């Protein structure tokens, strides 16, 4: 009665032969338990969601394998929502099966802590991912800044040359050589700009 885990002891016919005070304190409002009552009947009549099939199957496996079996179960009821690790321990005496102990270990807090750790881990991973993405975008922006500034300078130079060319059309002092010189400068600027376009495209 002093242990913190709930337990039920059943005989070979799966009739309840014992249980502790902790079981009554944990499940008393949902389960009407008495000695000599069939375990499945007690669980079926409970207002909590015991997985009777899993429990019966596990008792059978533990009996045939001569070893304990543990599984996790989420048990719900009115104003009750807890996670338990249910351990089935077969009892043998001189190789004769006498019954099983069903131990209900409350792991609700542990589960909640694991969920909080998982959530925090996901948040941390997302923050790291966003930070990496920020660094990557910063690097891309930095790498694009130089060619964009160069292209911007080239466009301004071409704009000035177009203005100069437009004004020179009606000027009688401007020779064909001058027009060729302006066209050559325009071409030079275009040739300077092409590698920056290729770099950004790559």
DSSP output for the chain? --SSSEEEEEETT-BEEEE-HHHHHHHTTT----TTSBHHHHHHHSSS---HHHHHHHHHHHHHHTS-EEEEEEEEETTEEEEEEEEEEEEEETTEEEEEEEEEEE-HHHHHHHHHHHHHHHHHHHHHHHHHHHHHHHHHHHHHHHHHHHHHHHHHHHHHHHHHHHHHHT-TT--HHHHHHHHHHHHHHHHHHHHHHHHHH-
Structure tokens belonging to residue 103: 């131990």
Using pLDDT thresholds of 50, 70 and 90, give the confidence band for residue 13.
very high
For the stretch 27-69, pLDDT in tens is 988 899 999 999 999 999 998 889 989 999 999 999 999 999 9
Tell me 49's DSSP state.
-
% of the chain beyond a pLDDT of 70: 100
User: Coil, strand or helix: which one is 37?
Assistant: coil
pLDDT value at 146 more than 90: no
pTM as predicted: 0.59
For the stretch 162-184, pLDDT in tens is 998 888 888 888 888 988 999 99
**Averaged confidence pLDDT in the chain:** 91
The pLDDT of 122-129, averaged and rounded, is 93
């Amino acid at each position: 009665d002093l242990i913190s885990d709930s337990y039920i002891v059943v005989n070979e016919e799966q009739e309840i032969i014992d249980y502790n005070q902790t079981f009554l304190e944990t499940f008393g409002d949902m389960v009407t338990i008495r000695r000599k009552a069939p375990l499945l009947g007690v669980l079926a009549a409970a207002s909590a969601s015991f997985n009777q099939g899993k429990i019966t199957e596990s008792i059978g496996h533990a009996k045939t394998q001569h070893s304990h079996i543990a599984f996790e179960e989420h048990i719900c009821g009115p104003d009750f929502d807890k996670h338990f690790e249910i351990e089935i321990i077969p009892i043998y005496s001189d190789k004769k099966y006498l019954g099983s102990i069903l131990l209900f270990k409350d792991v609700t807090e542990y589960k909640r802590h694991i969920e909080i750790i998982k959530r925090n881990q996901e948040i941390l991973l997302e923050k790291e991912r966003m930070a990496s993405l920020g660094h990557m975008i910063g690097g891309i922006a930095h790498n694009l800044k130089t060619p964009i500034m160069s292209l911007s300078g080239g466009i301004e130079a071409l704009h000035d040359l177009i203005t100069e060319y437009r004004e020179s059309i009606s000027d009688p002092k401007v020779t064909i050589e001058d027009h060729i010189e302006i066209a050559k400068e325009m071409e030079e600027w275009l040739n300077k700009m092409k590698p920056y376009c290729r770099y950004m495209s790559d």
